């Protein structure tokens, strides 16, 4: 009961402060009146009676404070008073307040924005119920030097039937399918997956039914599940969509369900989910072109998963027949090894390195900002020293003074925090929209309440952090300071605190400048890399598919492809056009390729090469060169001639020169005849700018299979070299050109080769931009910090300088002495920074390309930049010192 | 109130106030005067301590207050002992008696 009453009374006083005060005043007044009346009754003259009464009761204000101060709510009101007082003080120095708030807003906002991204991308579990128990079934094959091997139907069945750690296994493959019958023909991203797919993830459909085992029957009814977005776009979110047929690749599929909104598997943004119809009896052992996921039993570790997979892999070769033309030993020699990853780690890849490093950089920037503000606050506290000393002498406790000082800094921190919310919001928006980032799980990045709370908490923490510096110094304040004038000892102590802060600032700034420098050099190295493909911005790429259900005849597919190529070539401004199964940089298959005469031991797997099927003109349209021999010709295509082309690096590796490869014969693993190498194409970086050019083989776009039938590619990219690439008008003209050949084929996935290269440069560019911003800001704050300390030093020594000048000191010598001091301070800070850099920069090596983490040139440049900055920051105060007028300086005190 | 009074023994002010109010409701000055009179001016209570004590006791729920017109036609805040206050008074009283007896015994033993 009592605490409740305390609270109620306290709150009543708080809410009706004026009336409570009045009541207390009335009571005191009454007390005084009664006392005076008593004195008068005792015979004292009225004036004397009043004087005594007043004397005994004391001043009303003091009395009121005494009574009020005993109640709990007075702590609160005094805090309110402090806040009001602090706000007024801050308002009186708008320059300082605005500068500090902005600095904080940038530092805190950037940290919070980056943390929001990190939280969404790295920390939060994937948005599936079983996300923490789903693994991605990756493999590697060290025997044939293959780092990443995906999944095969044979492994899918083997794991399902033999594994002891998996609850469920699913096989899936991301692709595109041509949808007809819903307006213009369109290509939509499609996930083909075994019916267990949704169950592995624990996802339930929002409408209709999920996939059933019967849906995978190759002879059963064809069904499809729509994504929420596709359902809304194409069916206006109508329940009538269920049971409707849509044509995928020409085949009617019945809509049976709709996925929940927000379902996005591995950033595939798939519109359709289609059952993968596998015929177990037709599965061969080797065909690793699918992906696999599995849900593990609760509590199973990744190591256990890998162990169990390793146990299952040999069982696969008992269960499934070896592909034709391969010996059993080939599988064993490939040494297929499990490399399962948690699905989340699979999706986010190594972006974690970049994000954490950048967060570290932004955090350091925030520390610098705090140090800077702490330094400014020190100067402000100095100016209030006398006031504080008086208050202390009058009995104010240290805690009370600390509260006063801290209120100001926490208030400042919170002001920065509120502004930081906007900075954070802008930052998150920027990350969401900029094409620069190409982050995984980007659609899960959003500004949320958590981000706001994080921002404010960080702001409060910063306020405490930089607020504690002056408080900590104030704790030993000598009340006698109130009486005397200047205090050498206090100033010296303050100077020490100030210098420590400055060293921290300069050291951290050095670290960030070096990090920025290293990233800048990396980026320049990356930009100057010869990708092997010239003017990629001038290559327009479009995808066209020719599903068997729309175009049964293979001859017709080839004829149509050729006709489209001719039609595209006639569009104005177009140079070379070619057709390929995979545009550069967008991922191709890696298959073993036999070289005639190099087969040691029948059926042994030779090394893998990146392979793609191309039409004549591929090298020219992509921006490469034929370095030896000749390009494919259309008559090669027409006659299905047994020809092939390879990349220069393979030719040199195997035969010592490009010329040496000509006339040699190679053969693909999937059988077929030996093919003569007729040309060698220059190398290009097909796996991203940072990775060396792989060895490649180019097969003709059309060929004859073992039975002599024409073999064509039904999903191809057209690569069109033109200065008009990427313009809207040009793409429209391409559409028209395509329609003139065949009206039911959609133009899909419009992009340029430059886009692909930009994407592979996106992450380094993102890292460089953020680190550069952090480094630049750090440098700026460092300059401000050095300037502040030097200006203060000059101010403090004005009198001394005046005397020296009066005694004949050269102005230049005075300036030089300050310059020397400034450089010494900077040098000490920078030395700490270099030490920190030696320790910390190696964490960054994941972000570096073509430059050592201890690159001397970068370090020297960073030091030169810092020296320059220190020079600028010191020069102004030093010049002012040298211009000191002795008379004024001496008179000032 | 000429001769200097003694400061109230630490912690007994509450007891003195509760005891005074147990006889009749009084205003602040009334309580101070009553204590001074009864103790023959031994205890002089300064208004700060008195009002602070009133605030505390009221919040504990031991006394209640209301503005009334006093005998000499002045408006004054009168304090009344509540039921809980009466209980508290009994408790403090017996505690004080035990203390006082103990101190007395101690003094006698020393004499």
Q: What is the pLDDT of residues A331-354, one digit of tens each?
A: 887 888 888 888 888 888 777 888
Distance CA B47, CA B29 (A): 8
Residues of A in contact with B31 (CB under 8 A): none
Question: pLDDT at position A597, please?
Answer: 76
Residue of higher predicted confidence among A417 and A477: A417
Question: pLDDT at position A539, please?
Answer: 93
Distance CA A415, CA A116 (A): 20
Do B63 and B78 contact (CB within 8 A), yes or no? no
For residue B111, the distance in angstroms to the closest alpha carbon of chain A comes to 39
Q: Is A63 on the interface with B (CB under 8 A)?
A: yes
Distance CA A485, CA A480 (A): 10
Residues of A in contact with B56 (CB under 8 A): 70
Q: Which residues are bridge partners to A628 per DSSP?
A: A680
Closest in B29, B51, B58 to A34, CB measured? B29
Closest residue, chain B, to A35 (C-alpha) = B29
Query: Could you tell me which residues come within 8 angstroms of residue A672 by beta carbon, excluding any fewer than 6 positions away?
Result: A703, A705, A706
Residues of B in contact with A58 (CB under 8 A): 46-48
Q: Is A5 on the interface with B (CB under 8 A)?
A: yes
**A182-186, A465-469, A712-716, B76-80: least confident range:** A182-186
CB-based contact A70 B46, cutoff 8 Å:
no
Closest residue, chain A, to B26 (C-alpha) = A31
As given in the structure block, the two tokens for residue A367 are: 């520390």
Q: What is the pLDDT of residues A618-650, one digit of tens each?
A: 999 999 999 999 999 999 988 888 899 999 999
Q: What is the pLDDT of residues A22-70, one digit of tens each?
A: 888 888 888 888 888 888 888 888 888 888 888 887 777 777 777 777 7
ipTM: 0.85
pLDDT (tens place) for every residue of chain B, 111 residues total:
344 445 566 668 888 888 888 888 888 888 888 888 888 877 778 888 888 888 888 888 888 888 888 777 788 888 988 888 899 899 988 988 998 899 888 888 765
Distance CA B19, CA B21 (A): 5
As given in the structure block, the two tokens for residue A661 are: 């490869």
Q: Is the pLDDT of residue A498 over 50?
A: yes
Question: pLDDT at position A437, please?
Answer: 60
Q: What is the DSSP letter of A276?
A: -
Residues of B in contact with A5 (CB under 8 A): 59-61
Give the strand pairing for A675-681 and A626-629: antiparallel
Do A814 and A805 contact (CB within 8 A), yes or no? yes
CB-based contact A28 B51, cutoff 8 Å:
yes
CB-based contact A66 B55, cutoff 8 Å:
no
Distance CA A130, CA A433 (A): 30
Distance CA A432, CA A420 (A): 18
Q: Is the pLDDT of residue A488 over 60?
A: no
Q: What is the pLDDT of residues A819-856, one digit of tens each?
A: 888 888 888 888 998 888 888 887 888 788 888 888 88
CB-based contact A30 B56, cutoff 8 Å:
no
What SS3 class is residue A207?
strand
Question: pLDDT at position A646, please?
Answer: 94
- Mutation target to probe the B interface, by most B beta carbons within 10 A, among A34, A65, A66 is A34
As given in the structure block, the two tokens for residue A65 are: 């404070």
Q: Mean pLDDT over residues A301-307, rounded?
A: 91
CB-based contact B46 A30, cutoff 8 Å:
no
Distance CA A71, CA A732 (A): 79
> What is the band of A476 on the pLDDT scale with cuts at 50, 70, 90?
low
CB-based contact B55 A38, cutoff 8 Å:
no
What SS3 class is residue A249?
coil
CB-based contact A66 B48, cutoff 8 Å:
yes
**A392-401, A526-535, A699-708: least confident range:** A392-401
Residues in B whose CB is inside 8 Å of some CB of A read 1, 27-30, 32-33, 46-48, 51-52, 55-56, 58-61, 72, 74-77
Question: pLDDT at position B111, please?
Answer: 54
Token pair 């602070």: residue: B52
Q: What is the pLDDT of residues A576-590, one digit of tens each?
A: 999 998 899 887 777
CB-based contact A63 B33, cutoff 8 Å:
no
Closest in B47, B55, B75 to A71, CB measured? B55
Q: What is the pLDDT of residues A598-625, one digit of tens each?
A: 765 555 667 778 889 999 999 999 999 9
- Residue A855: left (phi > 0), alpha (psi -120 to 50), or beta? beta
Question: pLDDT at position A483, please?
Answer: 47
Residues of B in contact with A11 (CB under 8 A): none
* Residue whose C-alpha is closest to residue A393's, from A481, A484, A486: A481
Residues of B in contact with A10 (CB under 8 A): 59
Residue of higher predicted confidence among B7 and A790: A790
Question: pLDDT at position A600, please?
Answer: 52
> What is the band of A554 on the pLDDT scale with cuts at 50, 70, 90?
confident
Distance CA A529, CA A585 (A): 15
CB-based contact A2 B59, cutoff 8 Å:
yes
A151 phi, psi to nearest 5 deg: -120, 155
For residue B53, the distance in angstroms to the closest alpha carbon of chain A comes to 8
Distance CA A777, CA A101 (A): 15
Q: Is A56 on the interface with B (CB under 8 A)?
A: yes
Q: Mean pLDDT over residues A536-565, rounded?
A: 88
Q: What is the pLDDT of residues B32-52, one digit of tens each?
A: 888 888 888 777 788 888 888
Do A230 and A241 contact (CB within 8 A), yes or no? no
Distance CA A442, CA A444 (A): 5
Question: pLDDT at position A492, please?
Answer: 60
CB-based contact B51 A38, cutoff 8 Å:
no
For residue B90, the distance in angstroms to the closest alpha carbon of chain A comes to 19
Residue percentage of chain A with pLDDT more than 90: 13
Question: pLDDT at position A487, please?
Answer: 46
Distance CA A526, CA A536 (A): 15
What SS3 class is residue A136?
strand
Token pair 């509260």: residue: A403
As given in the structure block, the two tokens for residue A529 are: 């890399």
Q: Could you tell me the end-to-end alpha-carbon distance of chain B, in angstroms, rounded to an integer?
A: 33
Question: pLDDT at position A624, please?
Answer: 92
Distance CA B32, CA B23 (A): 14
Indicate the helix (H) or strand (E) that contains A516.
helix A488-527
CB-based contact A31 B75, cutoff 8 Å:
no
> What is the band of A730 on the pLDDT scale with cuts at 50, 70, 90?
very high
* Residue whose C-alpha is closest to residue A646's, from A694, A671, A679: A679
Indicate the helix (H) or strand (E) that contains A592.
strand A589-595
For chain A, the average pLDDT equals: 83
Tell whether the torsion through CA atoms of A651, A652, A656 and A658 is positive or negative: positive
Distance CA A114, CA A116 (A): 5
Do A646 and A698 contact (CB within 8 A), yes or no? yes
As given in the structure block, the two tokens for residue A267 are: 């950033």
Closest residue, chain B, to A61 (C-alpha) = B48
Closest residue, chain A, to B51 (C-alpha) = A67
Q: What is the DSSP letter of A656?
A: S
Tell whether the torsion through CA atoms of A73, A75, A76 and A81 is positive or negative: positive
Q: Cβ-count burial of A147 within 10 angstroms (0-12 exposed, 13-18 middle, 19+ buried)?
A: exposed
Q: Is A30 on the interface with B (CB under 8 A)?
A: yes
Question: pLDDT at position A622, please?
Answer: 92
For residue A394, the distance in angstroms to the closest alpha carbon of chain B comes to 19
Do A114 and A355 contact (CB within 8 A), yes or no? yes
Question: pLDDT at position B3, please?
Answer: 44
3-state secondary structure A520-586: HHHHHHHHCCCCCCCCHHHEEEEEEECCCCCCCCHHHHHHHHHHHHHHHHCCCCCCCEEEECCCCCC
Closest in B30, B47, B60 to A28, CB measured? B47
Give the strand pairing for A715-721 and A539-545: antiparallel
- Mutation target to probe the A interface, by most A beta carbons within 10 A, among B33, B44, B59, B66 is B59
For residue A31, the distance in angstroms to the closest alpha carbon of chain B comes to 5
As given in the structure block, the two tokens for residue A377 are: 């606050």
For residue B14, the distance in angstroms to the closest alpha carbon of chain A comes to 15
Q: Is A44 on the interface with B (CB under 8 A)?
A: no
Question: pLDDT at position A871, please?
Answer: 86
Do A644 and A600 contact (CB within 8 A), yes or no? no
CB-based contact A56 B1, cutoff 8 Å:
yes
Residues of B in contact with A34 (CB under 8 A): 27, 29-30, 33, 74, 76
For residue A51, the distance in angstroms to the closest alpha carbon of chain B comes to 14
Closest residue, chain A, to B59 (C-alpha) = A6
pTM: 0.71
Q: Is A2 on the interface with B (CB under 8 A)?
A: yes
Closest residue, chain B, to A11 (C-alpha) = B59
Question: pLDDT at position A28, please?
Answer: 85
CB-based contact B59 A38, cutoff 8 Å:
no
For residue A21, the distance in angstroms to the closest alpha carbon of chain B comes to 13
């Amino acid at each position: 009961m009592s605490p409740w009453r305390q609270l109620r009374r306290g709150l009543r006083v708080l809410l009706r402060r004026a009336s409570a005060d009045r009541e207390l005043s009335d009571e005191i007044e009454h007390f005084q009146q009664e006392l005076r009346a008593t004195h008068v009754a005792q015979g004292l003259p009225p004036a004397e009676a009043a004087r005594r009464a007043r004397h005994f009761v004391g001043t009303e204000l003091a009395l009121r404070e005494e009574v009020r101060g005993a109640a709990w709510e007075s702590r609160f009101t005094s805090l309110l008073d402090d806040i009001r007082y602090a706000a007024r003080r801050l308002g009186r120095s708008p320059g300082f307040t605005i500068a500090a708030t902005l600095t904080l807003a940038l530092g805190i906002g950037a940290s919070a924005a980056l943390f929001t991204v990190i939280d969404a991308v790295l920390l939060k579990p994937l948005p599936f119920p079983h996300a923490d128990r789903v693994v991605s079934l990756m493999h590697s094959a060290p025997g044939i030097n293959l780092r990443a091997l995906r999944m095969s139907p044979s492994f899918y069945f083997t794991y399902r039937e033999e594994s002891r750690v998996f609850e469920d296994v699913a096989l899936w493959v991301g692709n595109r399918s041509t949808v007809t019958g819903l307006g213009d023909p369109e290509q939509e991203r499609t996930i083909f997956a075994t019916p267990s797919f949704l169950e592995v993830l624990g996802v339930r459909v929002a409408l209709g039914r999920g996939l059933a085992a019967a849906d995978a029957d190759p002879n059963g009814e064809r069904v499809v599940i729509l994504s929420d977005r596709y359902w809304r776009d194409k069916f206006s979110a109508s329940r009538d969509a269920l049971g409707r047929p849509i044509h995928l690749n020409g085949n009617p599929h019945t809509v049976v369900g709709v996925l929940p909104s927000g379902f996005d598997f591995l950033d595939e943004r798939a519109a359709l989910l289609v059952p993968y119809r596998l015929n177990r009896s037709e599965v061969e052992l080797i065909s690793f072109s699918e992906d696999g996921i599995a849900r593990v039993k609760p509590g199973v570790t990744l190591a256990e998963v890998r162990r169990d997979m390793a146990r299952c892999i040999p069982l696969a070769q008992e269960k499934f027949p070896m592909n034709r033309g391969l010996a059993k030993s080939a599988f064993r020699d490939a040494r297929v090894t499990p490399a399962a990853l948690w699905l989340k780690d699979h999706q986010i890849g190594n972006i974690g390195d970049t994000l954490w490093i950048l967060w570290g950089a932004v955090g350091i920037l925030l520390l610098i900002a705090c140090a800077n503000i702490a330094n400014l606050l020190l100067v402000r506290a100095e100016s209030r020293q006398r006031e504080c000393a008086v208050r202390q002498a009058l009995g104010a406790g240290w805690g009370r003074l600390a509260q006063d000082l801290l209120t100001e800094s926490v208030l400042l921190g919170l002001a920065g925090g509120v502004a930081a919310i906007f900075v954070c919001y802008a930052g998150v928006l920027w990350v969401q929209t900029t094409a620069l980032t190409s982050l995984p799980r980007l659609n899960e990045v959003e500004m949320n309440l958590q981000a706001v709370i994080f921002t404010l908490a960080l702001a409060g923490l910063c306020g405490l952090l930089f607020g504690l510096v002056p408080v900590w110094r104030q704790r030993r304040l000598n009340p006698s300071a109130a009486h005397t004038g200047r205090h050498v000892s206090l100033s010296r102590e303050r100077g020490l605190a100030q210098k420590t802060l400055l060293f921290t600032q300069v050291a951290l700034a050095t670290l960030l400048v070096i990090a920025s420098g290293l990233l800048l050099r990396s980026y320049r190295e990356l930009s100057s890399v010869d990708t092997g493909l010239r003017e990629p911005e001038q290559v327009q790429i479009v995808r066209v598919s020719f599903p068997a259900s729309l175009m049964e005849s293979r001859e017709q597919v080839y004829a149509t492809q050729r006709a489209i190529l001719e039609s595209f070539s006639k569009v104005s401004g177009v140079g070379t056009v070619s057709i390929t199964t995979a545009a550069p940089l967008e991922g191709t298959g890696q298959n073993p390729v036999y070289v005639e005469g190099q087969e040691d031991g029948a059926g042994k797997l030779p090394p893998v090469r990146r392979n793609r099927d191309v039409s004549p003109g591929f090298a020219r349209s992509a921006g490469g060169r034929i370095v030896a021999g000749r390009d494919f010709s259309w008559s090669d295509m027409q006659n299905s001639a047994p020809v092939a082309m390879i990349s220069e690096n393979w030719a040199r590796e195997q035969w010592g020169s490009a010329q040496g490869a000509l006339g040699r014969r190679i053969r693909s693993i999937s059988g077929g005849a030996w093919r003569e190498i007729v040309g060698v194409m220059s190398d290009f970086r097909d796996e991203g700018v940072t990775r060396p050019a792989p060895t490649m083989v180019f097969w003709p776009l059309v060929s004859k299979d073992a039975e002599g039938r024409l073999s064509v590619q039904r999903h191809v990219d057209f690569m069109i070299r033109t200065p008009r690439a990427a313009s809207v008008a040009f793409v429209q003209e391409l559409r028209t050109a395509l329609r003139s050949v065949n009206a039911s084929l959609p133009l899909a996935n419009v992009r340029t080769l430059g886009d692909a290269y930009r994407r592979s440069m996106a992450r380094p560019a993102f890292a460089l931009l953020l680190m550069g911003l952090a480094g630049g800001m750090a440098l700026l704050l460092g300059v401000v910090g050095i300037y502040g300390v030097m200006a203060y030093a000059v101010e403090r020594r004005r009198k001394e300088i005046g005397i020296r000048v009066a005694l004949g000191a050269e102005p230049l010598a005075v300036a030089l002495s300050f310059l020397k001091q400034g450089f010494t301070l900077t040098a000490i800070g920078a030395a700490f920074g270099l030490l920190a850099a030696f320790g910390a920069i190696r964490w960054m090596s994941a972000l570096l390309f073509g430059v050592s983490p201890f690159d001397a040139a970068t370090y020297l440049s960073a030091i030169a930049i810092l020296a320059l900055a220190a020079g600028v920051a010191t020069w102004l105060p030093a010049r002012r010192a040298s211009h000191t007028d002795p008379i004024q300086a001496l008179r000032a005190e | 109130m000429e001769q200097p009074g003694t400061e109230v023994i630490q912690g007994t002010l509450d007891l003195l106030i509760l005891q005074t109010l147990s006889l009749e409701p009084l205003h602040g000055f009334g309580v101070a005067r009553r204590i001074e009179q009864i103790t023959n001016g031994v205890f002089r209570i300064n208004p700060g301590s008195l009002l602070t004590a009133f605030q505390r006791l009221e919040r504990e729920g031991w006394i209640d207050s209301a503005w009334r017109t006093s005998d000499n036609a002045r408006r004054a805040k009168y304090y009344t002992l509540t039921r809980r206050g009466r209980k508290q008074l009994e408790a403090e009283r017996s505690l004080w008696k035990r203390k006082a007896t103990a101190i007395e015994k101690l003094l006698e033993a020393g004499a």
